Amino acid sequence: MPVMKIVVRMPNWIGDAVMALPVLKALQANFPRAELWAAAREWVGDLFSPWHGIKGLVPLPAVRDLKSLREASSRLKEHGFDAGLLLTNSFSSALVFRLAGIPERWGYARDGRGLLLSRSVPLKKGGETRRQTDYYRDLLAGLGIEAPAGTIDLHLSEEEKAAAEKAITEAGRDPARPLVVLNPGAAFGPAKRWPAERFAGLARLFQARKNAEILLVGAAGEADIAAAIASGLERKPLDLTGKTNLRQLMGLISLGRVFVTNDTGPMHIAGALGVPVVAIFGPTDPKATGPSRRPSVVLKKDVPCWPCTYRSCPYDHRCMTGIGPEEVFSAAEGFL
């Protein structure tokens, strides 16, 4: 009997993709004989390991024109999938599945794509503001797929852990000091970023009061933020911003005693690795995208313009500037 092949179109944002990992486990449990694949943008694909039960990954380009549409559908078509689950909401992602000739196409009926789906699920009232994990669980429930609540886990190999230890040792880590990992960037935009000078003030508190080793992480485009923080410290931090791929970043995060971060994808990575998280929220709602696992602390200020979800603040960024280094330190020091 032929094996059923199911492909899951994973979200494009790293944080959303981490929160979608329980979907893979649910499909494994409900279709134990099926061959499960993931389709995703390449940077998201690095999240997956054999533990997630996927047979393979289909890397997809961004669909911006007819050429990229054909390329994406062609990549899927060559695998002969029997069914596809869309965790993305766009019209184009459903069109790619349709052009790839996938007979069963499942997803939310939104963005005008209902006719492209063989089975569509209506969005619950208030669904767009629900917790992201519940949003995915609602989709599975609408398809008749049992999806019990569970923790979100990421797994690293012993080799990856050892490589992370080696990287920070070579960067000059003092193993006698507790390691504090700071993630000061945010790909979404500057509105989500706690100011660099506040991160520097926080790092100084960790160094002075806890004799902590500070590790700065982030994407290559955030190197200037890390440099600004480092310039405000008497004791040089370990700065590996822009010097890792996603798997290497996961390894570094796993070594931290606490992870202090803005609302970003790495926040969810830390939680999924079991690292205590202190998350600083500005324009976004932690009820929807906050840390999914304890131990974690969320810090936010109630301001009249919240939540705005702007990429850049057109005013005085009071949702972020209202949070001081002492407040964040008080939230984090108990994890050391």
Burial of 134 (0-12, 13-18, 19+ CB in 10 A): middle
Look up the CATH architecture of domain 5-142.
Answer: 3-Layer(aba) Sandwich (3.40)
Class of 159-335 in CATH: alpha beta
pLDDT at 127: 56
Distance (Å, whole) CA 222 – CA 296: 24
314 sits in which H/E element: none
pLDDT at 42: 87
| Residue ranges of the chain assigned to CATH 3.40.50.2000 | 5-142, 159-335
Structure tokens, 270: 């830390």
332 sits in which H/E element: helix 325-332
Distance (Å, whole) CA 95 – CA 246: 29
pLDDT at 128: 59
Distance (Å, whole) CA 128 – CA 281: 18
pLDDT at 172: 95
pLDDT in tens, the chain (336 residues): 678 999 999 999 999 999 999 999 999 999 999 999 999 998 888 888 777 888 999 999 999 999 999 999 999 999 999 999 999 999 999 999 999 999 999 999 998 999 999 999 998 876 556 788 889 999 999 999 988 777 788 989 999 999 999 999 999 999 999 999 999 998 888 889 999 999 999 999 999 999 999 999 999 999 999 999 999 999 999 999 999 999 999 999 999 999 999 999 999 999 999 999 999 999 888 888 889 888 999 999 988 888 888 889 888 898 989 999 999 999 999 999
Distance (Å, whole) CA 114 – CA 266: 33
Length of the chain measured in residues:
336
- Cβ contact 209:174 at 8 Å: no
pLDDT at 310: 86
Classify residue 264 by its DSSP letter: S
Where would I find the beta strands (DSSP E) of the chain?
A: 5-9, 35-40, 56-59, 83-86, 104-108, 119-121, 179-183, 213-216, 238-239, 258-262, 277-280, 296-299
pLDDT at 214: 98
What is the model's pTM?
0.93
